[in-house]
Homo-oligomer: A and B are copies of this chain.
Amino acid sequence: MSVLVVGSVALDSVETPYGKVDDALGGSATYFSAAASYFTDVNVIAVVGEDFPHDQIEFLKERNVNFDALVTKPGKTFRWGGKYDFDLNQRETLFTHLNVFEDFDPILPDHYKNIPYLFLANIHPDLQLKVLQRMDRPKLVVMDTMNFWIAGTPDSLKRILKLIDILIVNDSEVKELSRDTNLFSGAKKIQQMGPKIIVIKKGEHGALLVEDGNYFWAPAFPLEELQDPTGAGDTFAGGFVGYLAKVDDYSQKSLRKALIYGSILGSFCVEKFSLAKLKILSHEEIENRYQQFIDMTRFY
Protein backbone atom coordinates (compact mmCIF):
# COMPACT_ATOMS: atom_id res chain seq x y z
CA MET A 1 0.00 0.00 0.00
CA SER A 2 1.09 3.59 -0.54
CA VAL A 3 2.20 6.06 2.09
CA LEU A 4 1.58 9.80 2.19
CA VAL A 5 3.88 12.02 4.21
CA VAL A 6 3.53 15.70 5.00
CA GLY A 7 6.57 17.40 6.44
CA SER A 8 9.59 19.47 5.57
CA VAL A 9 12.03 19.27 2.72
CA ALA A 10 14.94 21.34 3.93
CA LEU A 11 18.57 22.27 3.74
CA ASP A 12 20.54 21.54 6.90
CA SER A 13 23.84 22.89 8.14
CA VAL A 14 25.18 20.48 10.72
CA GLU A 15 28.35 20.29 12.74
CA THR A 16 29.34 17.24 14.78
CA PRO A 17 32.71 16.12 16.22
CA TYR A 18 33.08 14.08 13.01
CA GLY A 19 32.61 16.80 10.42
CA LYS A 20 30.46 19.56 9.05
CA VAL A 21 28.04 20.03 6.16
CA ASP A 22 26.39 23.18 4.81
CA ASP A 23 23.03 23.30 3.04
CA ALA A 24 22.90 19.52 2.90
CA LEU A 25 19.65 17.76 1.98
CA GLY A 26 17.44 17.36 5.03
CA GLY A 27 13.89 17.71 6.31
CA SER A 28 11.47 15.30 7.99
CA ALA A 29 9.63 14.34 4.79
CA THR A 30 12.92 13.71 3.01
CA TYR A 31 14.38 11.38 5.67
CA PHE A 32 11.01 9.68 6.11
CA SER A 33 10.50 8.97 2.43
CA ALA A 34 14.09 7.82 1.90
CA ALA A 35 13.53 5.15 4.57
CA ALA A 36 9.94 4.23 3.64
CA SER A 37 10.91 3.85 -0.03
CA TYR A 38 12.70 0.59 0.85
CA PHE A 39 9.28 -0.90 1.60
CA THR A 40 6.66 0.79 -0.55
CA ASP A 41 5.93 3.82 -2.72
CA VAL A 42 5.79 7.14 -0.98
CA ASN A 43 4.01 10.40 -1.78
CA VAL A 44 5.28 13.67 -0.40
CA ILE A 45 3.49 16.96 0.38
CA ALA A 46 5.96 19.74 1.07
CA VAL A 47 7.18 23.14 -0.06
CA VAL A 48 10.60 24.36 -1.16
CA GLY A 49 12.00 27.68 -2.34
CA GLU A 50 13.33 28.62 -5.74
CA ASP A 51 16.85 27.85 -4.52
CA PHE A 52 16.15 24.17 -3.91
CA PRO A 53 18.59 21.83 -5.68
CA HIS A 54 16.07 19.42 -7.24
CA ASP A 55 18.80 17.16 -8.58
CA GLN A 56 19.51 16.09 -4.97
CA ILE A 57 16.17 14.27 -4.69
CA GLU A 58 16.54 12.47 -8.02
CA PHE A 59 17.62 9.29 -6.20
CA LEU A 60 14.32 9.32 -4.28
CA LYS A 61 12.27 9.66 -7.46
CA GLU A 62 14.08 6.60 -8.79
CA ARG A 63 12.95 4.73 -5.66
CA ASN A 64 9.22 5.41 -6.16
CA VAL A 65 8.99 8.57 -4.13
CA ASN A 66 6.41 10.77 -5.77
CA PHE A 67 6.92 14.52 -5.51
CA ASP A 68 3.73 15.59 -7.37
CA ALA A 69 2.81 17.75 -4.37
CA LEU A 70 6.21 19.29 -3.77
CA VAL A 71 5.40 22.93 -4.39
CA THR A 72 8.10 25.44 -5.30
CA LYS A 73 7.35 28.90 -3.91
CA PRO A 74 9.10 32.23 -4.44
CA GLY A 75 11.70 32.65 -1.73
CA LYS A 76 14.14 30.42 0.06
CA THR A 77 13.91 26.80 1.21
CA PHE A 78 13.45 25.99 4.92
CA ARG A 79 16.89 25.92 6.57
CA TRP A 80 18.00 24.46 9.89
CA GLY A 81 21.41 24.69 11.51
CA GLY A 82 22.61 22.67 14.49
CA LYS A 83 25.67 21.57 16.38
CA TYR A 84 26.12 18.34 18.36
CA ASP A 85 28.31 17.88 21.42
CA PHE A 86 31.09 15.33 21.83
CA ASP A 87 28.93 12.27 22.49
CA LEU A 88 26.17 13.29 20.03
CA ASN A 89 23.50 13.16 22.73
CA GLN A 90 23.00 16.90 23.08
CA ARG A 91 22.36 19.29 20.25
CA GLU A 92 22.11 23.02 19.98
CA THR A 93 19.92 24.60 17.33
CA LEU A 94 21.94 27.40 15.77
CA PHE A 95 19.16 28.72 13.55
CA THR A 96 15.73 27.85 12.14
CA HIS A 97 14.74 29.80 9.05
CA LEU A 98 11.23 28.72 8.10
CA ASN A 99 11.35 30.77 4.87
CA VAL A 100 8.73 29.40 2.40
CA PHE A 101 7.54 26.96 5.07
CA GLU A 102 6.13 29.85 7.09
CA ASP A 103 2.81 30.09 5.26
CA PHE A 104 2.74 26.54 3.94
CA ASP A 105 -0.78 25.47 3.00
CA PRO A 106 -0.71 21.78 2.14
CA ILE A 107 -2.79 21.29 -1.02
CA LEU A 108 -3.62 17.68 -1.81
CA PRO A 109 -3.87 16.50 -5.39
CA ASP A 110 -7.00 14.35 -5.84
CA HIS A 111 -5.00 11.18 -6.30
CA TYR A 112 -3.47 11.70 -2.81
CA LYS A 113 -6.79 11.78 -0.97
CA ASN A 114 -7.38 8.08 -0.60
CA ILE A 115 -3.85 6.96 0.19
CA PRO A 116 -4.30 4.46 3.05
CA TYR A 117 -1.19 5.13 5.17
CA LEU A 118 -0.55 8.68 6.38
CA PHE A 119 2.43 10.02 8.27
CA LEU A 120 2.14 13.48 9.80
CA ALA A 121 5.73 14.53 10.40
CA ASN A 122 6.71 16.95 13.13
CA ILE A 123 5.03 20.22 11.99
CA HIS A 124 2.46 22.58 13.52
CA PRO A 125 -0.47 20.45 14.75
CA ASP A 126 -2.92 22.71 12.87
CA LEU A 127 -1.15 21.81 9.63
CA GLN A 128 -1.28 18.16 10.55
CA LEU A 129 -5.03 18.50 11.16
CA LYS A 130 -5.55 20.30 7.85
CA VAL A 131 -3.93 17.48 5.90
CA LEU A 132 -5.93 14.82 7.72
CA GLN A 133 -9.19 16.72 7.16
CA ARG A 134 -8.48 17.07 3.44
CA MET A 135 -8.21 13.31 3.02
CA ASP A 136 -10.67 10.44 3.05
CA ARG A 137 -9.96 8.92 6.50
CA PRO A 138 -6.80 6.83 5.88
CA LYS A 139 -6.59 3.26 7.12
CA LEU A 140 -3.76 4.25 9.50
CA VAL A 141 -2.63 7.67 10.71
CA VAL A 142 0.77 7.93 12.37
CA MET A 143 2.05 11.18 13.82
CA ASP A 144 5.21 12.72 15.23
CA THR A 145 5.43 15.80 17.43
CA MET A 146 7.93 17.53 19.72
CA ASN A 147 8.27 19.49 22.98
CA PHE A 148 7.92 22.77 21.06
CA TRP A 149 4.28 21.95 20.17
CA ILE A 150 3.55 20.23 23.50
CA ALA A 151 4.44 23.45 25.34
CA GLY A 152 3.48 25.99 22.68
CA THR A 153 0.24 24.76 21.08
CA PRO A 154 -1.27 22.25 23.52
CA ASP A 155 -4.90 22.79 22.41
CA SER A 156 -4.09 22.28 18.74
CA LEU A 157 -2.06 19.22 19.66
CA LYS A 158 -4.91 17.73 21.68
CA ARG A 159 -7.31 18.20 18.73
CA ILE A 160 -5.16 16.20 16.33
CA LEU A 161 -4.23 13.58 18.94
CA LYS A 162 -7.91 12.59 19.18
CA LEU A 163 -7.90 11.66 15.50
CA ILE A 164 -4.77 9.56 15.05
CA ASP A 165 -3.87 5.91 15.55
CA ILE A 166 -0.18 5.91 16.42
CA LEU A 167 1.93 8.58 18.10
CA ILE A 168 5.71 8.47 17.75
CA VAL A 169 7.53 10.45 20.43
CA ASN A 170 10.68 10.27 22.53
CA ASP A 171 10.78 9.46 26.22
CA SER A 172 11.03 13.04 27.49
CA GLU A 173 8.08 14.03 25.26
CA VAL A 174 5.98 11.25 26.82
CA LYS A 175 6.70 12.65 30.26
CA GLU A 176 6.06 16.23 29.19
CA LEU A 177 2.82 15.50 27.33
CA SER A 178 1.41 13.25 30.06
CA ARG A 179 2.81 15.29 32.95
CA ASP A 180 3.87 12.00 34.49
CA THR A 181 7.43 11.14 35.54
CA ASN A 182 6.82 7.44 34.85
CA LEU A 183 7.15 6.46 31.19
CA PHE A 184 4.66 3.62 31.36
CA SER A 185 1.82 5.30 33.22
CA GLY A 186 2.60 8.38 31.10
CA ALA A 187 2.09 6.39 27.91
CA LYS A 188 -1.26 5.15 29.24
CA LYS A 189 -2.38 8.74 29.82
CA ILE A 190 -1.46 9.63 26.24
CA GLN A 191 -3.47 6.67 24.98
CA GLN A 192 -6.48 8.22 26.69
CA MET A 193 -5.89 11.37 24.61
CA GLY A 194 -6.50 9.43 21.40
CA PRO A 195 -3.76 7.26 19.90
CA LYS A 196 -4.22 3.61 20.85
CA ILE A 197 -0.59 2.87 20.04
CA ILE A 198 2.45 4.78 21.33
CA VAL A 199 5.93 4.33 19.92
CA ILE A 200 8.59 5.70 22.25
CA LYS A 201 11.99 6.46 20.75
CA LYS A 202 14.79 6.18 23.29
CA GLY A 203 17.73 6.95 20.97
CA GLU A 204 20.80 4.95 21.96
CA HIS A 205 18.59 2.90 24.31
CA GLY A 206 16.25 1.56 21.62
CA ALA A 207 12.52 1.94 21.17
CA LEU A 208 9.39 0.82 22.95
CA LEU A 209 5.96 -0.07 21.56
CA VAL A 210 2.93 0.32 23.81
CA GLU A 211 -0.49 -1.03 22.85
CA ASP A 212 -2.99 -1.74 25.61
CA GLY A 213 -1.13 -3.65 28.28
CA ASN A 214 1.29 -4.92 25.67
CA TYR A 215 4.93 -3.80 25.65
CA PHE A 216 7.59 -4.54 23.08
CA TRP A 217 11.22 -3.40 23.32
CA ALA A 218 13.50 -2.99 20.35
CA PRO A 219 17.17 -2.53 21.20
CA ALA A 220 19.35 0.06 19.54
CA PHE A 221 21.91 -1.25 17.11
CA PRO A 222 25.40 -1.12 18.70
CA LEU A 223 27.19 1.46 16.57
CA GLU A 224 30.81 2.20 17.33
CA GLU A 225 30.90 5.03 14.86
CA LEU A 226 28.17 7.61 14.34
CA GLN A 227 28.64 10.75 12.35
CA ASP A 228 25.37 12.68 12.46
CA PRO A 229 22.13 11.92 14.36
CA THR A 230 20.09 14.44 12.33
CA GLY A 231 17.00 12.82 10.82
CA ALA A 232 17.27 9.59 12.79
CA GLY A 233 13.75 9.95 14.20
CA ASP A 234 12.15 10.61 10.82
CA THR A 235 14.13 7.76 9.28
CA PHE A 236 12.94 5.51 12.10
CA ALA A 237 9.36 6.57 11.34
CA GLY A 238 9.94 5.89 7.63
CA GLY A 239 11.08 2.33 8.27
CA PHE A 240 8.23 1.80 10.73
CA VAL A 241 5.37 3.15 8.60
CA GLY A 242 6.93 1.87 5.36
CA TYR A 243 6.95 -1.69 6.67
CA LEU A 244 3.33 -1.48 7.94
CA ALA A 245 2.20 -0.16 4.54
CA LYS A 246 4.13 -2.88 2.73
CA VAL A 247 2.47 -5.71 4.68
CA ASP A 248 -0.77 -3.68 4.90
CA ASP A 249 -1.31 -4.80 8.47
CA TYR A 250 -0.84 -3.33 11.90
CA SER A 251 -1.46 -6.31 14.12
CA GLN A 252 0.82 -6.56 17.16
CA LYS A 253 3.06 -8.94 15.19
CA SER A 254 3.48 -6.50 12.29
CA LEU A 255 3.93 -3.54 14.62
CA ARG A 256 6.83 -5.34 16.30
CA LYS A 257 8.57 -6.11 13.04
CA ALA A 258 7.94 -2.54 11.93
CA LEU A 259 9.62 -1.26 15.09
CA ILE A 260 12.68 -3.36 14.29
CA TYR A 261 12.77 -2.07 10.70
CA GLY A 262 12.42 1.48 12.00
CA SER A 263 15.35 0.91 14.35
CA ILE A 264 17.42 -0.58 11.53
CA LEU A 265 16.81 2.33 9.15
CA GLY A 266 17.51 4.81 11.95
CA SER A 267 20.78 3.05 12.74
CA PHE A 268 21.97 3.38 9.15
CA CYS A 269 20.90 7.03 8.96
CA VAL A 270 23.28 8.18 11.70
CA GLU A 271 26.32 6.45 10.20
CA LYS A 272 26.89 9.28 7.75
CA PHE A 273 25.98 12.95 7.34
CA SER A 274 22.66 14.00 5.77
CA LEU A 275 21.11 11.24 3.64
CA ALA A 276 24.46 9.92 2.42
CA LYS A 277 23.94 6.42 3.81
CA LEU A 278 20.22 6.24 2.94
CA LYS A 279 21.19 7.03 -0.64
CA ILE A 280 23.33 3.94 -1.08
CA LEU A 281 21.81 1.51 1.43
CA SER A 282 20.90 -1.90 -0.01
CA HIS A 283 18.05 -4.24 0.85
CA GLU A 284 20.68 -6.83 1.69
CA GLU A 285 22.24 -4.59 4.33
CA ILE A 286 18.81 -4.04 5.86
CA GLU A 287 18.06 -7.76 6.01
CA ASN A 288 21.51 -8.54 7.44
CA ARG A 289 20.90 -6.07 10.24
CA TYR A 290 17.45 -7.63 10.81
CA GLN A 291 19.23 -10.94 11.49
CA GLN A 292 21.59 -9.15 13.86
CA PHE A 293 18.60 -7.78 15.78
CA ILE A 294 17.34 -11.33 16.17
CA ASP A 295 20.78 -12.42 17.39
CA MET A 296 20.95 -9.54 19.87
CA THR A 297 17.65 -10.34 21.55
CA ARG A 298 17.33 -14.13 21.51
CA PHE A 299 17.63 -15.84 24.89
CA TYR A 300 15.17 -18.73 24.89
User: By the criterion CB–CB under 8 Å, are A219 and B222 in contact?
Assistant: no
State in angstroms the CA–CA spacing of A222 and B198 once bound together: 14
A202 contact from B205, B296, B300, Cβ within 8 A: B205
A217 contact from B223, B297, B300, Cβ within 8 A: B297
> Which residues of B have CB within 8 Å of A226?
182
Q: Separation in Å of the A288 CB from the closest CB of chain B?
A: 14
Q: Separation in Å of the A119 CB from the closest CB of chain B?
A: 21
State in angstroms the CA–CA spacing of A185 and B87 once bound together: 13
> Which residues of B have CB within 8 Å of A256?
298-299
User: By the criterion CB–CB under 8 Å, are B181 and A216 in contact?
Assistant: no
State in angstroms the CA–CA spacing of A212 and B225 once bound together: 17
Q: Separation in Å of the A78 CB from the closest CB of chain B?
A: 31
A224 CB within 8 Å of chain B: yes
Residue of B nearest to A300 (CB): B294
User: By the criterion CB–CB under 8 Å, are A184 and B87 in contact?
Assistant: no
> Which residues of B have CB within 8 Å of A86?
181
A257 contact from B87, B208, B299, Cβ within 8 A: B299
Residue of B nearest to A223 (CB): B184
User: By the criterion CB–CB under 8 Å, are B299 and A184 in contact?
Assistant: no
State in angstroms the CA–CA spacing of A294 and B217 once bound together: 10
A206 contact from B182, B184, B205, B225, Cβ within 8 A: B205
Q: Separation in Å of the A162 CB from the closest CB of chain B?
A: 24
CB contacts under 8 Å to B, within A159-213, are 175, 181-185, 188, 202, 204-206, 208
> With contacts A256-B298, A259-B299, A293-B299 known, what are 4 further pairs, Cβ within 8 A?
A86-B181, A182-B223, A216-B297, A257-B299
Q: Which 4 A-B residue pairs are closest in the complex by CB-CB distance?
A: A217-B219, A205-B205, A256-B299, A87-B181
